[in-house]
């Protein structure tokens, strides 16, 4: 029995309450104070998602830096697969984001002159990393959250968006929602919708993001007709704590450990980087290290928890505790104190580079649907630099909010086609029942294992085919899942709904990786190991069609910078 949904009317609906979502809400309200703005968040406003875990952000503020230089770093790192207009806007918007955050009370680390301290980070060509200790994301989010309490949009907290609802013309008319705490369905009628829920980089067996980041925004955008670009591009770091099945698994050690003398060893005690990167050894690039670790683990030379060993203890407890207090604490929590001995680490999926195709205002091909942050694709190209993701979220969150306000002002509210909402609720409430032999948590583990085995940092056609087959099997089993218990705060039920979105996104990742028959950035095909600029300066596009998921490719528009410039 499905309760009759309550209907709420708003002008701008924002789904997600990380940095992108909150910036969208703040800027939509600032642009058009007369509009009614509603934030829908699966978690607690401003506290779920990954924005709070960010270590710093990049902005061209230094005397030798410029928007152009930041832009070039992004495109060169992205190996020219970027949408250069998105990359440009990211770089151009970064300095003013820092100013805006300080006006909200953020207090970033200072240099001796009292200016904001700029440090080197992640191989960028100059110092442009802005941070507050290692708690930058938390600093940002706590201040954005305070601003939300000042601006006071309607907050639908612990309410999950199930689907976008379209009107008869195919334009966005609102959202079908589920209040997690009451278990009741809701319809939110809206003139424009900003989707900013974060990506699905939880799709692998060791992953760093917050657990509720299950690609909900991507999946619902795909179902509503949006296109997804470069879904094969999934960024891994090399030093996630391997501590499965503990939820602490995937917590990050410091990537810099490989560059300050940290030694990586496999189960034979071998410094295996000598095989892959004899010159650079552990100090190789992130992608190279990730591929080496992946290969060692997959070929059976891994540690008990499915990682390899990293040892930094020879650097001394004093230095480690002084420079990396959070990391030391994390390692102690999982029982392998890095100040006294080696810890198990594995490649850890960290940031989803691909996402919904947007223009520089976040607009998609679905009228009224605006997407910002990790849900969107294109800005980063074929790889990613730490500190650019949070900037993307804030720059494009703000732009999306302003655009959503304009769109909402220009549109009348249309009736969502009632049938769609009914179908979404039928699907959702269909999983609430008697329980069953299988659980969503176990199926999600199988999905993550299949993604790791077949669609990991090193893959080939046969492996990808295997992953696709596994996903199809899981899809069928997921459709038969059932959660017992009341509708209120039903963790098992929510996990089922999460899993369906994870499967939808996983399908696009595997299909796009199968299509890209070359190797570029984070995408490495053993059967197509070379970068092919002649054939593959093209981005993949996934879209949901009546006959299933379709993949096509389009040439990258090199609007500002050509390879070799």
Partner 1 sequence: MSVVIGRTDPGSKREFSVRYRAPMTLLDVLFEIQRAQDASLAFRFFCRAGLCGTCTVRHNGAPVLACQTAVAADSRIRIDPLGGLPVIRDLVVDLEPFATAWAAAVRRSTPTGVRRDGFGDDTRLEMHRDARECIACAACYSACPVAGSDETFAGPAALGRKSLIAIDARLADTAASGAAGASSDVAGCHSVGACSIVCPRGVDPARLIRRLRRLGREAAT
Is 559 a residue that touches partner 1 (CB under 8 A)? no
Distance CA 442, CA 427 (A): 21
Interacting stretch for partner 1, rule CB under 8 A, among 208-216, 317-325, 397-405, 500-508? 208-216
Print the binding letters for residues 333-352 with partner 1: x by CB under 8 A, - otherwise.
xxx-----------------
Smaller CB separation from partner 1, 329 or 469: 329
Q: How far is the CB of 306 from partner 1 (least distance, A)?
A: 14
Q: How far is the CB of 428 from partner 1 (least distance, A)?
A: 17
Interacting stretch for partner 1, rule CB under 8 A, among 367-375, 387-395, 435-443, 554-562? 435-443
Is 44 a residue that touches partner 1 (CB under 8 A)? yes
Q: How far is the CB of 445 from partner 1 (least distance, A)?
A: 10
Distance CA 524, CA 289 (A): 13
Q: Supply the angle between the helices 491-515 and 216-223 in degrees, to the nearest 10.
A: 70
Q: How far is the CB of 453 from partner 1 (least distance, A)?
A: 22
Q: How far is the CB of 116 from partner 1 (least distance, A)?
A: 11
Is 274 a residue that touches partner 1 (CB under 8 A)? no
Is 47 a residue that touches partner 1 (CB under 8 A)? yes
Report yes or no: 199 and 213 within 8 Å, Cβ to Cβ: yes
Q: How far is the CB of 198 from partner 1 (least distance, A)?
A: 11
Cis status, amide bond into 245, omega within 30 of 0: yes
Is 102 a residue that touches partner 1 (CB under 8 A)? yes
Is 512 a residue that touches partner 1 (CB under 8 A)? no
Q: Which of 441, 515, 549, 558 binds partner 1 (CB under 8 A)?
A: 441
Is 212 a residue that touches partner 1 (CB under 8 A)? yes
Is 103 a residue that touches partner 1 (CB under 8 A)? yes
Q: Which of 142, 339, 360, 453 binds partner 1 (CB under 8 A)?
A: 142
Q: How far is the CB of 52 from partner 1 (least distance, A)?
A: 5
Distance CA 250, CA 202 (A): 10
DSSP code string of 485-554: S-STT-HHHHHHHHHHHHHHHHHHHHHHHHH--S-BTTB-BTTB-S--HHHH-EEEEEEEETTEEEEEEE
Q: How far is the CB of 379 from partner 1 (least distance, A)?
A: 24
Contacts of 237 (CB under 8 A, 6+ apart): 208, 252, 255, 286, 290, 347, 348, 350
Smaller CB separation from partner 1, 240 or 454: 240
Distance CA 333, CA 310 (A): 17
Distance CA 116, CA 136 (A): 13
Smaller CB separation from partner 1, 139 or 507: 139
Is 107 a residue that touches partner 1 (CB under 8 A)? yes
Distance CA 324, CA 321 (A): 5
Report yes or no: 212 and 502 within 8 Å, Cβ to Cβ: no
Is 210 a residue that touches partner 1 (CB under 8 A)? yes
Q: How far is the CB of 181 from partner 1 (least distance, A)?
A: 5
* Strand intervals (E) in 62-180: 129-130, 154-157, 159-166, 172-179
Applying the rule CB under 8 A, the residues between 513 and 552 that interact with partner 1 are none
Q: How far is the CB of 499 from partner 1 (least distance, A)?
A: 13
CA-angle at 212, arms to 522 and 513, nearest 5°: 25
Print the binding letters for residues 299-338 with partner 1: x by CB under 8 A, - otherwise.
-------------------------------x--xxx---
Applying the rule CB under 8 A, the residues between 241 and 270 that interact with partner 1 are 243, 245-248, 251
Interacting stretch for partner 1, rule CB under 8 A, among 101-109, 310-318, 449-457, 514-522? 101-109
Smaller CB separation from partner 1, 251 or 428: 251
Is 557 a residue that touches partner 1 (CB under 8 A)? no
In the chain, the N- to C-terminal Cα span, in Å, equals 63
Q: How far is the CB of 498 from partner 1 (least distance, A)?
A: 13
For residue 263, give the 3-state DSSP assignment. Answer: strand
Smaller CB separation from partner 1, 484 or 552: 484
551-560: Cβ within 8 A, 24+ apart: 551/511, 551/512, 551/514, 551/515, 553/515, 556/80, 556/81, 556/82, 556/83, 557/83, 557/84, 558/80, 558/84, 559/84, 559/85, 560/71, 560/75, 560/84, 560/85, 560/88
Is 429 a residue that touches partner 1 (CB under 8 A)? no
Is 115 a residue that touches partner 1 (CB under 8 A)? no
Is 111 a residue that touches partner 1 (CB under 8 A)? no
State how beta strands 308-311 and 343-352 pair.
antiparallel
Distance CA 281, CA 263 (A): 9
Distance CA 536, CA 206 (A): 30
Distance CA 354, CA 375 (A): 8
Q: Which of 490, 502, 514, 519 binds partner 1 (CB under 8 A)?
A: 490
Is 476 a residue that touches partner 1 (CB under 8 A)? no
Q: Binding residues for partner 1, per CB under 8 A?
A: 43-44, 47-50, 52-53, 102-105, 107, 135, 137-139, 142, 146-147, 149-150, 181, 210-212, 243, 245-248, 251, 330, 333-335, 435, 439, 441-442, 483-486, 488-492
């Amino acid at each position: 029995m499905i309760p009759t949904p309550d209907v709420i009317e708003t002008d701008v609906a924002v789904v997600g309450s990380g940095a992108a979502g909150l910036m969208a809400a703040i800027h939509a309200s600032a642009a058009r104070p007369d509009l009614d703005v509603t934030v829908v968040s699966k978690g607690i406003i401003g506290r779920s998602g990954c924005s709070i875990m960010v270590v710093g952000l990049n902005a061209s503020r230094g005397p030798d830096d410029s928007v152009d230089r930041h832009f070039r770093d992004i495109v060169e790192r992205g190996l020219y697969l970027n949408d250069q207009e998105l990359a440009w806007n990211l770089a151009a918007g970064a300095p003013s984001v820092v100013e805006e955050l300080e006006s909200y009370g953020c207090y970033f680390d200072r240099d001796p002159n009292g200016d904001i301290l700029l440090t080197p980070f992640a191989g960028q060509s100059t110092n442009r990393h802005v941070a507050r200790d290692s708690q930058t994301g938390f600093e940002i989010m706590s201040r954005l959250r305070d601003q939300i309490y000042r601006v006071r949009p309607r907050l639908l907290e612990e309410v999950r968006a199930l689907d976008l609802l379209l009107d008869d013309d195919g334009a966005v008319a609102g959202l079908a929602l589920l209040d997690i705490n009451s278990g009741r369905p809701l319809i939110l009628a809206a003139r424009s919708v900003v989707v900013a829920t974060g990506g699905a980089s939880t799709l692998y067996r060791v992953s760093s993001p917050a657990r509720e980041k299950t690609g909900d925004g991507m999946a619902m955008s795909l179902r509503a007709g949006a296109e997804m670009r470069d879904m094969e591009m999934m960024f891994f770091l090399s030093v996630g704590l391997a501590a499965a099945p503990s939820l602490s698994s995937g917590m990050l050690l410091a990537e810099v450990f490989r560059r300050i003398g940290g030694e990586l060893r496999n189960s034979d005690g071998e410094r295996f980087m000598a095989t892959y990167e004899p010159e650079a050894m552990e100090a190789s690039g992130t992608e190279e290290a990730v591929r080496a670790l992946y290969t060692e683990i997959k070929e059976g030379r891994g540690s008990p928890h499915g990682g390899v060993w990293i040892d930094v203890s020879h650097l001394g407890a004093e230095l480690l505790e002084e420079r990396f207090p959070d990391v030391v604490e994390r390692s102690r929590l999982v029982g392998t104190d890095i100040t006294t001995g080696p810890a198990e680490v594995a490649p850890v999926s960290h940031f989803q580079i691909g996402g919904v195709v947007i223009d520089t205002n976040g607009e998609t091909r679905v009228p009224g649907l605006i997407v910002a942050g990790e849900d969107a694709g294109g800005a980063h190209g074929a790889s990613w630099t730490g500190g650019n993701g949070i900037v993307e979220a804030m720059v494009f969150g703000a732009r999306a909010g302003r655009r959503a306000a304009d769109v909402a002002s220009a549109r009348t509210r249309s009736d969502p086609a009632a049938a769609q909402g009914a179908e979404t609720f039928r699907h959702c409430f269909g999983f609430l029942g008697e329980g069953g032999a299988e659980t969503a948590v176990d199926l999600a583990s199988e999905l993550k294992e299949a993604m790791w085995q077949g669609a990991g940092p090193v893959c080939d056609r046969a492996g990808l085919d295997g992953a696709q087959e596994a996903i199809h099997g899981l899809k069928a089993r997921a459709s038969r899942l059932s959660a017992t218990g009341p509708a209120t705060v039903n963790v098992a039920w929510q996990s089922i709904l999460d899993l369906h979105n994870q499967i939808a996104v996983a399908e696009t990742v595997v299909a796009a990786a199968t299509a890209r028959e070359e190797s570029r950035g984070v995408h490495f095909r053993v059967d197509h190991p070379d970068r092919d600029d002649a054939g593959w300066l093209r981005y993949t596009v996934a879209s949901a069609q009546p006959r299933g998921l379709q993949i096509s490719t389009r040439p990258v528009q090199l609007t500002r910078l050509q390879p070799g410039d």
